[in-house]
Structure 1
Amino acid sequence: MPLLVVVTRARCSPAVLFDLALDVDAHAESLPRSRETATTRGARVLGPGDEVTFTARHLGVRWRLSSRITEHERPHRFVDEQVRGPFASMRHEHLFEADGDGGTVMTDRMHVVAPLGPVGALAGRTVLWPHLRRLLRERGAHLATVAAARGQDL
């Protein structure tokens, strides 16, 4: 199972970044080019067991992915896993650590298996994984900026 790892540094507490990472509106706003929307059955800030469906355009294709929060340890860690969507499987672990200098290090660890066996694996290595890594970097940078703009620095 391929593993993508992206590290983001932010000038805010782990709790602030943790909460922003679970805010579906902040998530959708982080990728304006994809015109992403997020649909939930409840709160706009997700908690344990909550599901969200993201719809967006990536790589010229309209994608729809539903994910559930399967692990939730505020403010240090949460995991979301695909329950319906384009991948054979997807598990995304979000880790939040104080950096010792008044900020937070957020680490995204995303395990993704492409559909379609060997053909999907080839497409994953050449197109999909680099695209997902870029999306994770953009999302992390956006969340760090939002935390600072809201005056939530330490």
Structure 2
Amino acid sequence: MPVITIITSINAPVQVVFDLSRSVDLHKLSTIQTNEEAIAGKTSGLMGEGESVTWRAKHLGFYQVLTSKITFFDSPNKFVDEMVNGAFKSFVHHHYFEEKNGVTVMADEFDYESPLGLLGKMADGLFLKQYMKRLLEKRNQTIKEFAEDSAKHKKILTL
């Protein structure tokens, strides 16, 4: 199973980064290129433990539907979301947050398994792992951009 790990340093308080990371509204902004929309479950605001969201998005030329659920929640240190239904065989996304000297270190660990057995493993090596890494990096850059601009993060966190 491939694991993607991304570390992002953000000049903002840990609670702001944590909250932006679980914002459905900010997620929509970070995935404009895939036309991602929340179509069921929590469709706006901040996700909390036990809540789920169903996304519809265009990935790799195909519209897909994916439902994920927050299965662990420890504000502002960590939360975990897991795929309930979707194109992957499975995924677990760990989000870690730690503030050091006014800088929040956000770590993502995205552990997934592709469908289709050997074909899925080949797709991972050829393009899927890099595709997913780019999506996560884009999401984290959006979180960083909003967290480091108080006007932007206040607007998102009051939706």
TM-score (norm 2): 0.90
Identity score, percent: 36
Amino acid at match of 1:95: Y
SS of residue paired to 2:96: strand
In 2, Cα distance between the equivalents of 1:53 and 1:124?
24
Q: Work out whether residues 68 and 82 of structure 2, in 8 Å CA contact, stay in contact via their aligned partners in 1.
A: yes
Gaps of 5+ in 1: none
In 2, Cα distance between the equivalents of 1:107 and 1:94?
6
4+ runs of 1 displaced by more than 6 Å? none
- Which residues of 2 match residues 34-113 of structure 1 at below 5 A? 34-42=34-42, 44-98=45-99, 100-113=100-113
Amino acid at match of 2:69: R
Partner of 1:133: 133
In 1, Cα distance between the equivalents of 2:124 and 2:40?
28
C-alpha deviations, 1:18-57, integer Å up to 9, x for none?
Answer: 1111110101101211111123434621100000011111
TM-score (norm 1): 0.93
Q: Work out whether residues 49 and 73 of structure 2, in 8 Å CA contact, stay in contact via their aligned partners in 1.
A: yes
C-alpha deviations, 1:38-87, integer Å up to 9, x for none?
Answer: 23434621100000011111111112110000000000000000000000
User: How many residue pairs align between the two structures?
Assistant: 151
Deviation at 1:150, TM superposition (A): 2.6
In 1, Cα distance between the equivalents of 2:41 and 2:31?
22
